[in-house]
Amino acid sequence: MTERGISRREFAKSAVAIGGTAALAACLDRGSGTVPDGTDDPASLPERQHAWDESLATDDAGNHRLSRHHVLLLLEYTGDGTPSDADREQVETALRDLERAYEWSTEGLLFTLGYSPAYFDRFEADVAGVDLPEPTALAPFEDPEFDTPDALLHLASDDERVVIEAEEALEGNREAANGHEMTATFEGVLREADRRTGFVGAGLPAENQDVDGVPDSEPVPDDAPLFMGFKSGFDGNQASEDRVTVDSGPFAGGTTQHLSKIRLQLQQWYEQESQDQRVSKMFCPAHAAEDRVEGVGENLGTDSGVGECPEDVVESSRREGVAGHAQKAARARDGDSPLILRRDFDSTDGGEAGVHFLSLQQSIADFVGTKQAMNGTDVAEDSAVGQRVNNGILQYMTVRRRGNYLLPPRSLRALPPADPA
Ligand code: HEM
């Protein structure tokens, strides 16, 4: 504890994790250039809310690179029964205000607004053309709680000022966003039930490693984009935006979103494992034997090379005593394509190292199938590998919460009915 009674860890929190007007004022004081303005022409923006790739920056190898700062707002609809047209208009106007304020890009703001099964329960009809199940536990060894807000807003930007300011503006705590007047807010329609934050990108995990779950030796490499020390999300190992898009029915152009909150415990990861063991567990033992991964893995280019890991994971695990995370997950593919588009990021919420594992897929079943492949229950049954020990990265993570959402196409993003005409 410091003299003022704030714990050292609390004090070291990033501005985005703190949020609110004081954090924003501190960031604005620090200043760092102008933020590009958005557009007055909503038709110029993609109909898919999740169409971010074209507007994302790319890394040196050409992979799409996710924005560095993230805010997730879990929102409750404050009205009784089904939303009125006035509520819809208010939400849509507020979102258009954001699009006018900030460029649809990594330097500006990218966002999505999705809706949960609990939201759609208020309508008599079922969700048309999309299976949107309640979240469930997805492994025999996990016991998560379930998120049941009505809506989930995901804000993303390379500029921490943008995500904090956009949130403040939507909640009515600020009259303007990037100097543009807000003509509407979420006030009186959508209320914040929970707020989660995070980051991804070289340098940020090392800067934010003073949290529970990361040993005090500050082991996170300076250039690591994620706490576990490896790059993730190579273009060749992601489903495309097309692949995850709902292709028929009134929600065509939308997608489904799964959000889990994962706690990381990296003591053993960093203090008992060698870099070779970490490569074996994250990728596969063959990658370690062949020295394929240098440092955080930038040398892999645009594909993790998981295609060259032995395909029969049970057989390879019997031989090696270890199963790789990517090796197991890659069993859930449709031809050459993974089924899910990962847009996950790290977090220090609650002073704990964690991951907000946000994933997009055509149907929630695609996520469930991928998670099953990653569980490696078959590997544990048929080899000396344990259910969590030596079984990819399962030993170092605990799933705390799960939630499912539908991201409607942009034209239906404001409090949609379950069965739009
Ligand atoms: C908890 C933290 C996690 C970390 C640090 C992590 C990290 C990684 C890394 C480094 C790769 C290899 C590089 C790449 O393909 O991008 C990978 C691949 C992958 N991971 Fe994870 N992962 C995590 C959790 C998960 C979860 C919860 C799932 C969901 C089931 C998942 C699904 C996948 C998939 C589908 C692939 C690609 C497999 C393929 O190439 O087909 N990961 N992950």
Q: How many angstroms does the Cα of residue 105 sit away from the middle of ligand 1?
A: 25
H or E element that contains 269: helix 267-271
Is 114 within 8 Å of 152 (Cβ atoms)? yes
Helices and strands, counts by H and E, the chain: 14, 16
Determine if ligand 1 sits within 6 Å of the CB of residue 371: yes
In tens, the pLDDT along 90-142 reads: 999 999 999 999 999 999 999 999 999 999 999 999 999 999 999 999 999 99
- 227 has a pLDDT exceeding 60: yes
In tens, the pLDDT along 265-300 reads: 999 999 999 999 999 999 999 999 999 999 999 999
DSSP state of 350: G
- 66 has a pLDDT exceeding 80: yes
Q: How many angstroms does the Cα of residue 282 sit away from the middle of ligand 1?
A: 8
Residue 11 pLDDT: 56
- 2 has a pLDDT exceeding 80: no
Substitution candidate for ligand 1 out of 264, 325, 364 with most atoms within 8 A of CB: 325
Among protein residues, the one whose CA lies closest to atom 35 of ligand 1 = 329
In tens, the pLDDT along 184-199 reads: 999 999 999 999 999 9
Q: How many angstroms does the Cα of residue 357 sit away from the middle of ligand 1?
A: 10
Is 161 within 8 Å of 35 (Cβ atoms)? yes
Residue 29 pLDDT: 76
In tens, the pLDDT along 244-253 reads: 999 999 999 9
Pairwise CA distance, residues 357 & 4, whole Å: 34
Nearest to 265 by CA among 354, 396, 385: 396
DSSP state of 84: P
Determine if ligand 1 sits within 6 Å of the CB of residue 361: no
- 183 has a pLDDT exceeding 80: yes
Residue 28 pLDDT: 80
Determine if ligand 1 sits within 6 Å of the CB of residue 237: yes
Residue 26 pLDDT: 83
Determine if ligand 1 sits within 6 Å of the CB of residue 189: no
Residue 31 pLDDT: 66
Residue 1 pLDDT: 40
Mean pLDDT computed over 394-410: 98
Looking at the chain, the whole-number percentage of residues with pLDDT higher than 90 is 93
- 146 has a pLDDT exceeding 70: yes
Among protein residues, the one whose CA lies closest to atom 2 of ligand 1 = 355
DSSP state of 212: B
Q: Which atom of ligand 1 is nearest to the CA of 237?
A: 40
Pairwise CA distance, residues 196 & 194, whole Å: 7
Determine if ligand 1 sits within 6 Å of the CB of residue 51: no
Q: Band of the pLDDT at 13, cuts 50, 70, 90? A: confident
Q: Which atom of ligand 1 is nearest to the CA of 339?
A: 35
Q: Band of the pLDDT at 10, cuts 50, 70, 90? A: low
Sign of the CA dihedral with 27 first, then 159, 7, and 146 last: positive
Which stretches of 31-171 are DSSP H helices? Answer: 85-101, 117-120, 160-170
